[in-house]
Structure 1
Amino acid sequence: MVETVVSMGLPVDERLEIKKNRLMPEETSDNMKRIGIVTGTHGDELEGQFVCYELNQRIQKHPEYLHGIVDIYPAFNPLGIDSITRGIPMFDLDMNRIFPGSEEGPMMETMVSRLMSDLKGADMCIDIHASNIYLEEMPQVRINEETADQLVPYARLLNVDFVWIHAAATVLESTLAYSLNMIDVPTLVVEMGVGMRITKDYGYQLVDGILNLMKEMGIWSGPVESVREPLISSDRAIGFVNADHPGIYLPDARIFDEVMRGDVLGKIVDPLTGSVLEEVKAPITGKVFTRREYPIVYSGSLLNRILGGAEE
């Protein structure tokens, strides 16, 4: 059942509407579990659109397996999606920097406050993001270290390749995930793929994981695929690779590649003179989980991230 969660007036007789699709079994009970699937907070991150579609398809084909409530929010920022804009156009705001909002605040704070109210009381939320147009990310869950003990067991069920536990100081309190976790709605942030694209393989992988998590929660009783055991960052080094020179980056290493310290990951070249400005080398031994996709780089541009082994 499609419901309008937020409806607010805009100039020129238009309306900002945020909708969800609520899937639930025919027979309901007061103690049913509820999971929210949220995406589209950033308008240039589209990987979650396919996840919402595919999850809708699988549940609707087998409603007999559904024993709880699944709320699917494919477009938290519909204005951004419509205009292919990361933030909220006209308001020049990053939507993921104004949570939890306020009913008494400006228009956008009122909007996010109502979204928070709608998600309040859920037993789980999956907040799906993509990378930007510059980088590709391995399917991963990102977790604040303050909530790691609670959330890592759930993240292991989600069929991602990597769980990145961030230091608390690097996690902004104004994000949806932080705000929901603070009101006891366990929330996992998924990052995967590339901005402005849909990577279907990553989408299938995550949907398998969501169904697996739903089965563990008692929301889904249908068959599920076996899930992969993710690498956990807590006892591993993270190697950041940044450009020293401006130019055109030609990467050789791919996502998931295992590399040794000193291996060449790619090169930065000058198309005017035909010269190689820099051979980009791995600072540690490990697995590539972030890869530069956009070829134009400047000094300091992020090129790769590498997850080191425990010995690092």
Structure 2
Amino acid sequence: MIERIVEMELPAGEKLIIEKNRIQGERLRPDAARLAIVTGSHGDELEGQYICYETARRLKEGLQFLSGTVDIYPALNPLGIDVVQRTSPLGNVDMNRVFPGSPDGTLLEQAAARIVEDLEVGNRISPEYGSRIVDGIFNVMKLLGMWKDREDMLAQG
């Protein structure tokens, strides 16, 4: 299911639109893990869009095996992708340098803040379990059914 995360008016009547593709497994449980795949912050790095497309296609073919949720954010810098330019055409700004953004900042800072807010919604991993990298690995392993809970993962190293 495609969900709009950001929709902001631009000059000349255009819009900045950032979407995510939410894929949920058929075996979805109330305590199911969530994995977020985020690409497209640099408009000239198009490999991420292909990875997102292939990942979504393959997940949809095997929904019966998926017990969690995968959120795919294929284009954090859609304006840069449109012109195949690393930075956003709005002020020549590198989107990686804008995060975590600010609700009261520039247009791109506001967009980044909305993306971060959406990424944090539903994150069931507690901060005391280390960095977001460790959290991400746990989410992947839980989605694959390799570990039941954090304690099991931590016990196995």
Q: TM-score range by the shorter chain?
A: 0.7 to 0.9
AA paired with 1:87? T
5+ long unaligned stretches in structure 2: 146-157
> Displacement, 1:220?
3.5
Distance 1:27 1:43 in 2: 35
Contact 1:87 1:95 in 2 (8 A): yes
CA separation of 1:80 and 1:4: change in aligned 2, threshold 3 A: same
* Aligned twin of 2:49: 49
More helix by share: 2
> Displacement, 1:104?
1.4
Q: Secondary structure at the match of 1:12?
A: helix
* Aligned twin of 1:122: 123
| Aligned-residue identity in percent | 44
Contact 2:4 2:17 in 1 (8 A): yes
Residue 22 of structure 2 corresponds to residue 22 of structure 1: yes
Q: What stretches of structure 1 move > 6 A for 4+ residues in a row?
A: none
Contact 1:35 1:123 in 2 (8 A): no
AA paired with 1:73? Y
Contact 1:23 1:69 in 2 (8 A): yes
AA paired with 2:93? L
5+ long unaligned stretches in structure 1: 125-148, 152-180, 189-212, 222-312
AA paired with 2:144? W
Q: Secondary structure at the match of 1:88?
A: coil
AA paired with 2:7? S
More strand by share: 1
Contact 1:123 1:186 in 2 (8 A): no
> Displacement, 1:81?
0.2
* Aligned twin of 1:65: 65
> Displacement, 1:64?
0.1
CA RMSD of aligned residues (A): 2.4
Distance 2:99 2:134 in 1: 14
> Displacement, 1:27?
5.1
Distance 1:18 1:78 in 2: 7
* Aligned twin of 2:155: none
> Displacement, 1:35?
0.5
What is the number of equivalent residue pairs in this alignment? Answer: 140
Task: Tell me the TM-score normalised to structure 1 length.
Answer: 0.42
* Aligned twin of 1:286: none
* Aligned twin of 1:145: none
Contact 1:102 1:109 in 2 (8 A): yes
Contact 1:41 1:96 in 2 (8 A): yes
> Displacement, 1:83?
0.6
| Superposed CA offset, 1:192-212 (max 9, x none) | xxxxxxxxxxxxxxxxxxxxx
* Aligned twin of 1:33: 33
AA paired with 2:96? N
> Displacement, 1:185?
8.3
Q: Secondary structure at the match of 1:102?
A: coil
CA separation of 1:75 and 1:123: change in aligned 2, threshold 3 A: farther
Q: Secondary structure at the match of 2:5?
A: strand
Q: Where do residues 94-133 of structure 1 align in structure 2 (5 Å cutoff)? A: 94-120=94-120, 121-122=122-123
CA separation of 1:123 and 1:38: change in aligned 2, threshold 3 A: farther
Contact 1:22 1:69 in 2 (8 A): yes
Contact 2:28 2:66 in 1 (8 A): no
Q: Where do residues 112-261 of structure 1 align in structure 2 (5 Å cutoff)? A: 112-120=112-120, 121-122=122-123, 150=130, 181=132, 186=135, 214=140, 216-217=141-142, 219-220=143-144
Q: Secondary structure at the match of 2:18?
A: strand
Task: Tell me the TM-score normalised to structure 2 length.
Answer: 0.79
Q: Secondary structure at the match of 1:101?
A: coil
AA paired with 1:100? P
Contact 1:42 1:81 in 2 (8 A): yes
* Aligned twin of 2:77: 77
> Displacement, 1:29?
3.2
Q: Secondary structure at the match of 2:49?
A: helix
Distance 1:36 1:78 in 2: 18
